[in-house]
Amino acid sequence: MKICSAIAGSLLGMLSLAWAGPAPDHLVAESEPMPSVSDTNTESLSQGMNLVSEANKYIGTPYRWGGTSPQTGFDCSGFVQFIFRHALNIKLPRLPIDMSRLGERINREELAPGDLVFFNTRGGNFTHVGIYVSDSQFIHAPRPRTRVTVSRMDSSYYRHRFTHAVRIRAE
- Alpha-carbon distance of 83 to 75, in angstroms, equals 12
Q: CA-CA-CA-CA torsion for 121, 125, 130, 135, nearest 10 degrees?
A: 90
CB 85 within 8 A of CB 92: yes
> Which one from 76, 86, 160, 164 is the annotated catalytic residue?
76
Q: For 25, which DSSP code? A: G
Q: Which of 26, 140, 160, 164 is catalytic?
A: 140
Known catalytic residue at 4: no
Q: Which of 4, 26, 86, 128 is catalytic?
A: 128
| 128 among known catalytic residues | yes
Is 76 in the active site? yes
Active site residues: 76, 128, 140
